[in-house]
Structure 1
């Protein structure tokens, strides 16, 4: 059994407490995929101090040189794509094809931000003094704490670390414990690229110690967090209290609207892909399916026919479409919401049970689940489940559909299926979400485009694409007179 260490100041080291914790395979709880350090505040302090000492020199080498190292990191990750993807599947459960696709997305993100080293960082602005030069440039924050979830253990750490590093910051990464081994392998690839000691640091451990420690640390200038609404608020409040900059992405309750003029086959396929792929464990996953009453029964019949064909099992096996929930705790959460749905009066029309046959009894598998007759006041229509549960809701008009879609506290992503231009325009204008998609599933997001939510889904900042520079740097206005 491999034990993975922390990376602090360029060296892989054991935690100060000498304690480790195992990470298990959610498809088979008997399979421990590796051990990671159960780190302490002492370990975190060492990592932050190393980052602080290394950051100034890293900033001074310039954007093109930083970009060259990110290019090398992309090459290193691409060479190990199968190894990293297999570990992702074994550690958090998504199917191997999905895991490989995510890892290649990580490669693409690294290459995108490598190119940022050659792009402009400011503008020349006319001065009222004709003999002066005035322009803007960008300054890195300093040390950035990166706190990431288990559901995208390659893409999310990379889409946070790559821009932070490209713009001259030093990083301390704290991954979710459920996916810390996969994160360790990603960090190994980045370290191979040749980052100077201390620029990239990796510390595993509990959220209450390492995550909260980053949020509280006076030498951490910025915190970028993806995770639950409850924890995100705590991280943001801690950073705010000491004057730190923070960026929070905290989930969604994402709708798809199916208009009466929609291409039903396209809408059904996208609803299933958006809601059930990765076992519904995406912050952009489709959760609520709002369907025009004129085509409701036909849509439901087509949906159920396809849901019944979904193969559930170990994501490393060929032919498996949906893997397990990421942990026993997540499985229990999903099952508890299914019970809530039934108790509140929704009709369970498919699934809803744990899967234990065919040798799956040692994993955390649940059937893809579909509820009918869901109303907006039910918990399964309001709260993020983070599992393969679809809530069908009937609507009488496009105005009512958009009202239902907006009737939640979250606003991350939303999609609509329609061939009517006016429907499209109304949806784009009126939908309270940071990502709106027309005739495409809710779960799609491209690395070169800004990503983030409205309402309780985020702290109103944006990640990815050119938008990343807004969080990871500060504008500096320069006035020069001879």
Structure 2
């Protein structure tokens, strides 16, 4: 391809390595993709759910057979470690199999009519063409958890994956092609969000849009969809708290805080970012946390023994570093890290040290805005009630966790924590594919993804 219509995908562990080239498509390409999806949907929706499920099973098997290659590509393109990339790819396989089975489940109810001679029931019908706009941080799992339910319920798809990880996305689409999915049922268009994303969102023949990404972009998509009456589903940011109560198992709490906050270099919408610790265990927790953070190995995620890879791109690295500077200037105390990591050949990659701040107050920018990097903010509190109040004082409400052995603390947390996913004695990150996923407040459009909840977005109820 010529330089005009292709762009290189760079390995964040080594900026000199090109992982592949991605087409920079146009609005015309989107028009063609939508037309193909609209045409294919007529026959696709007529298939039985079981028949559509067979395709999903086949795609799952092919994806599983290509696990090593796709996971390695993900690590090269996005930076997460190879074990994490393999885990994510296997999760994609599991999601496909889960939704393949959904093709056989009930899609309606019989409702008694006041007329004893009438039969009244509900059924569900597909939306039509669904636009999928997916982010770079889970380049296999998120596209699949949007596409699989869209497909099983009879929709066709136009997907725009993030440019940063479009080579990985293309390999997932190849599995669909190899499975013999009918032409036009899934259409991938790569390119700039400002061109391709806009064209999908504003296209009159796109009936629904499912998006995961930043709040600013999500809000624009919601407004554009609303303006033309399309259905939309937005999953956006998080500023997820963990509460460490004084009776917590501190070793377990440290492990969950580090895994939730720093794994995948903190690039998860469910990543732990604010750590509320009760004063009487604060010093011991801090000491244990810092001892563990110092053991983290940083480097190319393809290498054995590496725990944390680079930020996914240079711009992401710069964003994280600018938040770290902001934290220092706001008066937070930097306990660990806070610099670019350039050892062991790291100067050619977009590495940052895992970073821990203390003396953070809940009104500082580093405690309010989503950083999307390996930065933890320690906040000392006297009581669990105080921790809950401050944890809820955020514009986001995606995930939250508490470490405690006290049933009263657990129940207060479950009842009062304003988040779509709450976990007890487990990290904030990680959600199971068969359970609904989504947030409160600014974290989502009040819809839920995954599990059986997905049917609510991808279909409409018809009463007969």
The TM-score, its normalising length taken from structure 2, stands at: 0.99
Match of 2:226? 240
User: Following the alignment from structure 2 to structure 1, what is the Cα–Cα distance between the partners of residues 420 and 178?
Assistant: 36
Matches within 5 A, 1:101-116: 101-116=87-102
Match of 2:209? 223
- Structure 1 residue aligned with 2:423, among 437, 452, 462? 437
SS, match of residue 259 in structure 2:
helix
Match of 2:378? 392
Match of 1:467? 453
Match of 2:178? 192
Match of 2:338? 352
Residue 363 of structure 2 is aligned to residue 377 of structure 1: yes
Q: Residue 369 of structure 1: CA displacement?
A: 0.2
Match of 2:28? 42
| Residues 289-331 of structure 1, C-alpha deviations (whole Å, 9 max, x = no match) | 0000010000000000000000000000000000000000000
Structure 1 gaps, min length 5: 4-13
Match of 1:283? 269
Match of 1:419? 405
Match of 1:451? 437
Q: Residue 380 of structure 1: CA displacement?
A: 0.5
User: Following the alignment from structure 1 to structure 2, what is the Cα–Cα distance between the partners of residues 177 and 233?
Assistant: 20
Match of 1:313? 299
Q: Residue 18 of structure 1: CA displacement?
A: 6.6
User: Following the alignment from structure 2 to structure 1, what is the Cα–Cα distance between the partners of residues 195 and 110?
Assistant: 45
CA RMSD of aligned residues (A): 0.9
Q: Residue 191 of structure 1: CA displacement?
A: 1.4
Match of 1:11? none
SS, match of residue 31 in structure 2:
helix
Residue 198 of structure 2 is aligned to residue 212 of structure 1: yes
- Structure 1 residue aligned with 2:49, among 56, 59, 63? 63
Residue 283 of structure 2 is aligned to residue 300 of structure 1: no
SS, match of residue 132 in structure 1:
coil
Q: How many residues align?
A: 464
Match of 2:155? 169
Matches within 5 A, 1:146-157: 146-157=132-143
SS, match of residue 288 in structure 1:
strand
Structure 2 gaps, min length 5: none
User: Following the alignment from structure 2 to structure 1, what is the Cα–Cα distance between the partners of residues 154 and 131?
Assistant: 14
User: Following the alignment from structure 1 to structure 2, what is the Cα–Cα distance between the partners of residues 164 and 373?
Assistant: 46
| Residues 49-97 of structure 1, C-alpha deviations (whole Å, 9 max, x = no match) | 0000110110001100000000000000000000000000000000000
SS, match of residue 402 in structure 1:
helix
User: Following the alignment from structure 1 to structure 2, what is the Cα–Cα distance between the partners of residues 196 and 477?
Assistant: 30
SS, match of residue 319 in structure 1:
coil
Q: Residue 251 of structure 1: CA displacement?
A: 1.3
User: Following the alignment from structure 1 to structure 2, what is the Cα–Cα distance between the partners of residues 99 and 425?
Assistant: 35
User: Following the alignment from structure 1 to structure 2, what is the Cα–Cα distance between the partners of residues 327 and 18?
Assistant: 21
SS, match of residue 347 in structure 2:
coil
SS, match of residue 118 in structure 1:
coil
User: Following the alignment from structure 1 to structure 2, what is the Cα–Cα distance between the partners of residues 18 and 274?
Assistant: 40
User: Following the alignment from structure 1 to structure 2, what is the Cα–Cα distance between the partners of residues 306 and 411?
Assistant: 28
User: Following the alignment from structure 2 to structure 1, what is the Cα–Cα distance between the partners of residues 289 and 82?
Assistant: 25
| Residues 408-440 of structure 1, C-alpha deviations (whole Å, 9 max, x = no match) | 100000000000001000000000000000000
User: Following the alignment from structure 2 to structure 1, what is the Cα–Cα distance between the partners of residues 138 and 417?
Assistant: 26
User: Following the alignment from structure 1 to structure 2, what is the Cα–Cα distance between the partners of residues 170 and 74?
Assistant: 18
| Residues 362-403 of structure 1, C-alpha deviations (whole Å, 9 max, x = no match) | 000000000011001100000000000000000111110001
Match of 2:66? 80
The TM-score, its normalising length taken from structure 1, stands at: 0.96
Match of 1:30? 16
Match of 2:76? 90
